[in-house]
């Protein structure tokens, strides 16, 4: 089984240029996210994605000197977004509906 991630339903984002406030309607928490985190959350708001998909997304956003560390950055970011309750894991059969 391939691990996939998706954003939770109902997230609201408010863009303030270099940062974005994301509201979680399930917990009533608000979080200030940087542009990379917002890009990943946007990616996960569509179809569920694998960690490799998220790393590829980040690789496109990072400066050249940081691109080699995209996998490490994506793993940390996925962990942080999951701890904040903004994303969850999805079973393979649910990811392809």
- Tell me the per-residue pLDDT of 61-96, one tens digit each, with 9 for 90 and over: 877 878 888 888 899 999 999 999 999 999 876 545
Task: Give the phi and the psi of residue 60 in degrees, each rounded to 5.
Answer: -70, -25
DSSP string, 24-42: ETTTTEEEEE-HHHHHHHH
In the chain, where the domains are located: 4-8+35-88
Segment (H or E) for 73:
helix 70-83
- What are the tens digits of pLDDT across the range 35-46? 889 999 999 998
């Amino acid at each position: 089984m391939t691990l996939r991630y998706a954003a939770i339903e109902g997230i609201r984002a408010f863009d303030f240029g270099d940062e974005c406030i994301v509201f979680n309607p399930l917990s009533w928490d608000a979080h200030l996210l940087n542009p990379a985190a917002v890009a990943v959350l946007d990616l996960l708001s569509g179809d569920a994605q694998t960690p490799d998909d998220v790393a590829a997304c980040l690789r496109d956003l990072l400066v050249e000197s940081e691109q080699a560390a995209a996998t490490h950055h994506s793993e940390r970011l996925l962990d942080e977004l999951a701890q904040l309750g903004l994303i969850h894991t999805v079973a393979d059969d649910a990811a392809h509906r």
